Structure 1
Amino acid sequence: MTTFVDRVELHVAAGNGGHGCASVHREKFKPLGGPDGGNGGRGGDVTLVVDQSVTTLLDYHHSPHRKATNGQPGAGDNRSGKDGQDLILPVPDGTVVLDKQGNVLADLVGEGTTYVAGQGGRGGLGNAALASARRKAPGFALLGVPGEAADIVLELKTVADVALVGYPSAGKSSLISVLSAAKPKIADYPFTTLVPNLGVVTAGSTVYTIADVPGLIPGASQGKGLGLEFLRHVERCSVLVHVLDTATLESDRDPVSDLDIIEEELKQYGGLDDRPRIVVLNKIDIPDGQDLADMIRPELEERGYQVFEASAVARTGLKELSFALAGIVAEARAAKPKEEATRIVIRPKAVDDTGFTVTFDEANEVYRVRGEKPERWIRQTDFNNDEAVGYLADRLNRLGVEDALMKAGARSGDGVAIGPEENAVVFDWEPTMMAGAEMLGRRGEDHRLEAPRPAAQRRRDRDAERDEAEQEFKEFGPF
């Protein structure tokens, strides 16, 4: 039995970037081959794509956890790691993407529309890419950035031009079966329809879609019956069609009361007041049904409704109804503003935008640094490698983080946290701290990379050191 699912919670995780490689080229008779570590591969993205062949979110109901593949690490001999494979998730037309708080992230309408739910992490640079005139032989590489992970909610809102609404067993499924080629389940008991049925109708030169929304009852907008589950499927429709049962066997119901109750539920749900309404008096093939239709039609027309009489069994009144709906749909389409071509909007970076912020967190008594670059650099740093730590310090200093901390009032020994509170790197700040290992000397320098001094310069330096030692001996005597 096919199950229809139109709301799921999906847990997506993009692929992590591969780590860069720290390697030195080794070849016979070439002892100083230089760095040749390759870059890590990019992690795969998680992308939602509208696919017309998909009509339900059932697959994600059974398998809500989806993850793209990771990028491969780099290797020696300048070999870059392989990129992770993107994960493509097909979704039905009309899928709305929300976050856990209910904020709309994307509204996916139209074949091929895409939304990147998780961005893959970038790969780390290998030491070959980190080499420079000052740092000719880096002994470290950057780590890959973790991919984005998110918990999102997918809601399906049927994309149809016409919505048939009404009480259970009012004949909506029968109407859609004769107006279009749709073959919904039809039976003589309430709540036969458990999923929205969609059909395509051709009336003259106009082709439109019509949806049979499962039966509504009093309290549907508050979750009673099936209404709350499927009221969202009428939101995109251009016209609402009230299907009224003129042959109901229940003594406590009548078509006009049914109409009032359904209208109240639509009002409580909200956002549908501007949709035109049409009333269809169904089941007039039954003698009592025709008599009741003749009685209530004047009252409905006085209320301003356009009223049609129809019978799905006798197939009467269907042509007039289909052409009337085609006219309303055509007017609604003409009234919609034409979609403009995609424009590229360039938003230049503000002159005073440093790309990060420094604030004092009184609760934790630390200065907190937030920004895309500092937080990414933290994730890319191997803190077991002193040279990598020195490179991080050099990058932060060039970005202006140290100056910003001084302006914020930070002093030597104060705690500094880079990143969000739940996942931050905390350290004691030293404004004049050396970058990396002791051999690095001043920030950004590496004594291993210094060019050898000429012989004459070495002699002058040696003579200067001897003269200085002799002068100290004369002044202070032997130590």
Structure 2
Amino acid sequence: MTTFVDRVELHVAAGNGGHGCASVHREKFKPLGGPDGGNGGRGGDVTLVVDQAVTTLLEYHHSPHRKATNGQPGAGDNRSGKDGQDLVLTVPDGTVVLDKEGNVLADLVGQGTTFVAGQGGRGGLGNAALSSARRKAPGFALLGEPGEARDIVLELKTVADVALVGYPSAGKSSLISVLSAAKPKIADYPFTTLVPNLGVVTAGSTVYTIADVPGLIPGASQGRGLGLEFLRHVERCSVLVHVLDTATLESDRDPVTDLDIIEEELRQYGGLEDRPRIVVLNKVDIPDGQDLADMIRPDLEERGYQVFEVSAVARLGLKELSFALAGIVGEARAAKPQEEATRVVIRPKAVDDAGFTVVYDEAEDVYRVRGEKPERWVRQTDFNNDEAVGYLADRLNRLGVEDRLMKAGARAGDGVAIGSLENAVVFDWEPSMMAGAEMLGRRGEDHRLEAPRPAAQRRRDRDAERDDAQREFDEFDPF
């Protein structure tokens, strides 16, 4: 059974926002007390949080579909809907979040680091929140927005200071077991280690982590053996340690050739050229192993490597190795730039940025409107309610969509699509959307809710309307 998983594909879906409520307050002797529809609740977010107690992505391998709860709809008497509950998913330290195309969305390093993988939908406004001096009795409410849903890839890159690399059965697991308290599986056959092992080493006042990477053989960077799956675990290390077997039983192998082959695989994988290297000649407790170590050590030192002769079984040379590694790790930590305090970056919008674009789509023969506000307003509109549709028309007109359509060359009857190609609302455009308010007889106004006007005021308004009508007739009378 699989016990270690370092790469999974996760399907996350945030909660949908609750719909707003269209309601009118009613009570005895007051049948029309005004709008009192509450707002819908916000949908829950899907958030990834680093937890150092978690060491594998196994949980998401078995259940890759995760969804947060939806917000509740609003209700009458100004009762807002309950917000959806956020879904918190714990991931190991060093988890990288990517999209389906392989672009990095977040690199989660450090206890408590968070990333919102799916944003919950906004709740729709109720008619109480939509009422105003001009729109005293809205007969509609806004719909809740759908939550964000997307597929992401989680990759675990072990956060270790020292990485042990080498051929299978070179003694990496034995070495990590004596340098730290880690207890990896150890046996005398290749590919004993199937998962990276991580241990903590204390050398004087320095505490650092050490990991062994299994399965490196020729062609590992192209997918042979297990190397391609686990080479990512050495990317964050401060120093690479080549563990060479000086007592190998294979006649066609020697430690120097092994070193050259592993270095070539690391070069092809890329991104590790600047890491310092140390060579460990293991198994020198065996007579043939010590003889071979004495033969190849001058050649390795001539190449510029710092060489240590050790024996994990006999516990030889371990103290010198651990303190040398502590020194290199300390230097790497000192050279690492200090974490800067979180800064708020303000990026003001350009003066001519309207927040949307209008582009003619020749393939679909429509004028496509794209922008955060227009698309959000469309999602919030109940198209079964004429008043809600007119309210959308007013909002788009105030934003300047009609002016942009006219400048783009749109004419009456042309198709206009708001949204992406896959999910757009398409309609036939009629110029002068300002008529939206007149289309439905001054939407949202209910004269039953207005105080009666004095008789003198009514006469003055009636005379003004008659004078305006006569003036228009005089101006356009052809005779």
Is the TM value for this pair above 0.5? yes
Q: Deviations over 1:20-70 (max 9, x none)?
A: 000001111112210000000000000000000110111111111110000
Q: Deviations over 1:399-426 (max 9, x none)?
A: 1111111111111111110000110000
Separation in 1, partners of 2:338, 2:459 = 82
Separation in 2, partners of 1:3, 1:284 = 34
Shift of 1:374: 0.4
Shift of 1:474: 18
Note if contact 1:368-1:418 (Cα within 8 Å) is conserved in structure 2.
yes
Separation in 1, partners of 2:78, 2:333 = 57
Note if contact 1:247-1:289 (Cα within 8 Å) is conserved in structure 2.
yes
Q: Deviations over 1:70-106 (max 9, x none)?
A: 0000000000000000000000000000011111010
Shift of 1:466: 11
Give the 4+ runs in structure 1 shifted more than 2 A. 432-479
Q: Secondary structure at the match of 1:426?
A: strand
Note if contact 2:137-2:446 (Cα within 8 Å) is conserved in structure 1.
no
Separation in 2, partners of 1:96, 1:438 = 54
Shift of 1:433: 4.7
Residues 441-450 or 69-78, more deviating = 441-450
Q: Secondary structure at the match of 1:381?
A: coil
5+ residue gaps, structure 1, are none
Structure 1 residues 3 and 473: alpha-carbon distance in aligned structure 2, compared to 1, 3 A threshold? closer
Correspondence list, 1:409-448, <5 A: 409-433=409-433, 440-441=440-441
Separation in 2, partners of 1:183, 1:6 = 20
Structure 1 residues 471 and 360: alpha-carbon distance in aligned structure 2, compared to 1, 3 A threshold? closer
Shift of 1:132: 0.1
Structure 1 residues 347 and 203: alpha-carbon distance in aligned structure 2, compared to 1, 3 A threshold? same
Q: Secondary structure at the match of 2:433?
A: coil
Separation in 1, partners of 2:435, 2:478 = 37
Note if contact 1:390-1:435 (Cα within 8 Å) is conserved in structure 2.
no
Separation in 1, partners of 2:405, 2:420 = 17
Separation in 1, partners of 2:142, 2:240 = 59
Structure 1 residues 95 and 477: alpha-carbon distance in aligned structure 2, compared to 1, 3 A threshold? closer
Task: Give the alignment's TM-score, normalised by structure 2.
Answer: 0.94
Separation in 2, partners of 1:477, 1:228 = 86
Shift of 1:396: 0.7
Structure 1 residues 382 and 436: alpha-carbon distance in aligned structure 2, compared to 1, 3 A threshold? farther
Structure 1 residues 261 and 28: alpha-carbon distance in aligned structure 2, compared to 1, 3 A threshold? same
Q: Deviations over 1:255-288 (max 9, x none)?
A: 1111011001001101111110000000011111
Q: Deviations over 1:187-237 (max 9, x none)?
A: 111000000000000001110000011030000000000000000000000
1:243 corresponds in structure 2 to: 243
Separation in 2, partners of 1:473, 1:347 = 53
Separation in 2, partners of 1:405, 1:420 = 17
Separation in 2, partners of 1:235, 1:462 = 81
Note if contact 1:98-1:152 (Cα within 8 Å) is conserved in structure 2.
yes
Q: Secondary structure at the match of 1:8?
A: strand
Q: Secondary structure at the match of 2:301?
A: helix
Structure 1 residues 435 and 186: alpha-carbon distance in aligned structure 2, compared to 1, 3 A threshold? farther
Residues 448-457 or 305-314, more deviating = 448-457
Tell me the matched-pair count: 479
Separation in 2, partners of 1:413, 1:448 = 37
Separation in 2, partners of 1:387, 1:305 = 78
Separation in 1, partners of 2:278, 2:476 = 110
Note if contact 2:42-2:83 (Cα within 8 Å) is conserved in structure 1.
yes
Q: Secondary structure at the match of 2:434?
A: coil
Residues 424-433 or 44-53, more deviating = 424-433
Shift of 1:455: 3.2
Structure 1 residues 172 and 475: alpha-carbon distance in aligned structure 2, compared to 1, 3 A threshold? closer
Separation in 2, partners of 1:204, 1:396 = 68
Note if contact 2:256-2:296 (Cα within 8 Å) is conserved in structure 1.
yes
Task: Give the alignment's TM-score, normalised by structure 1.
Answer: 0.94
Shift of 1:459: 6.1
Query: Over the residues paired in the alignment, what is the CA RMSD in angstroms?
Result: 3.3
2:381 corresponds in structure 1 to: 381
5+ residue gaps, structure 2, are none
Residues 345-354 or 78-87, more deviating = 345-354
Separation in 1, partners of 2:51, 2:163 = 22
Shift of 1:382: 0.2
Note if contact 1:164-1:213 (Cα within 8 Å) is conserved in structure 2.
yes
Separation in 2, partners of 1:177, 1:291 = 25
Separation in 2, partners of 1:471, 1:158 = 82
Shift of 1:442: 5.8
Separation in 2, partners of 1:285, 1:44 = 60
Q: Deviations over 1:429-457 (max 9, x none)?
A: 11135766977336887777776554346
1:113 corresponds in structure 2 to: 113
Structure 1 residues 433 and 340: alpha-carbon distance in aligned structure 2, compared to 1, 3 A threshold? closer
Shift of 1:17: 0.3
Note if contact 1:435-1:443 (Cα within 8 Å) is conserved in structure 2.
no
Note if contact 2:99-2:152 (Cα within 8 Å) is conserved in structure 1.
yes
Residue 396 (1) aligns with residue 392 (2): no
Q: Secondary structure at the match of 1:422?
A: coil
Note if contact 1:387-1:437 (Cα within 8 Å) is conserved in structure 2.
no
Structure 1 residues 300 and 85: alpha-carbon distance in aligned structure 2, compared to 1, 3 A threshold? same
Separation in 1, partners of 2:309, 2:185 = 23
